[in-house]
Structure 1
Amino acid sequence: MLDDTDRRLMRHLLADPGLATAALAERAGITTATCWRRLERLTAAGVIRGQHAVIDWRALGYAVEVSLRFTLDKTDPRAFDEFIAAARLVPEVIAIETFLGRVDVRLNVIARDMGHWTEVYRQQILALPHIAEVEALMLVSTIKNTEGLPL
């Protein structure tokens, strides 16, 4: 489905999503019209789902990130849905992921500082429904964080 030109185009798009179509075409070594058609085709096929801004939350004054792993009390069949619905309402939750295995749900939570983290954890996180067990992992450093793909 993808040829070398598509891969080259997507590599450049991932590296700089804000490029205008003409600049993207130039970097990929194709005409602007061809670039536009290929982007349209890749979008229609669902390969490209959109372009978005990546905002560094640290630049906005958030200094703490914690990954919380939850095991839910699954005696209630609505446990997952109710937990996730409530977690979505916590503004400091930046990611929600579900798993198979011992861990049911992982939340990534950011805070301005440790005082803010304590407040969010005690008042909002611990108030989430159906928690059987929670484990917190404090982020120390990010070694690799890329949205790039091996194209």
Structure 2
Amino acid sequence: MFVKHHYKGTREDNYETVIRQLVGLVEGEPNRVANLANAAALLNQFLDDINWVGFYVLEGDELVLGPFQGLPACIRIPVGRGVCGTAVSRGETIVVDDVHRFPGHIACDGASNSEIVVPLRSGGRIVGVLDIDSPQIARFDRTDADYLTRFAETLGRYWEQGSGAAG
């Protein structure tokens, strides 16, 4: 069901399919860690040209590493630092075409060249971020930003049903 070659529509159609698949994975499952893990795995198999995808969960004034796919990553990121912390402090999705030009970028994987970070909200408040890195310069565009924001909004709607270590 989740094999990459099954995505044969337009990018927009494929993103719609992934969002429906996300609902199928998280609906009725109360464990946030499991839901974040499945969401990261789903995006990892769907998106081309990425080398890291995962979540950071907001705890106080810092983001703490949550479920991800990729190389080991930074464990704690203060709000306002790096792309992830900046996305939280601004409260908006950030697309960085070249991370080496982003002031204060935190390099966890030297192979990463571009990044998108999407705030994850529940009940109107930011509870974490979705973070995706790519070795390709300018990998992410407006279509990615729009649909990954919808993906995060969908996941956020199920946050309140959740519990577990990430909650």
TM-score by length of 1: 0.26
Structure number with the higher strand fraction is 2
TM-score by length of 2: 0.24
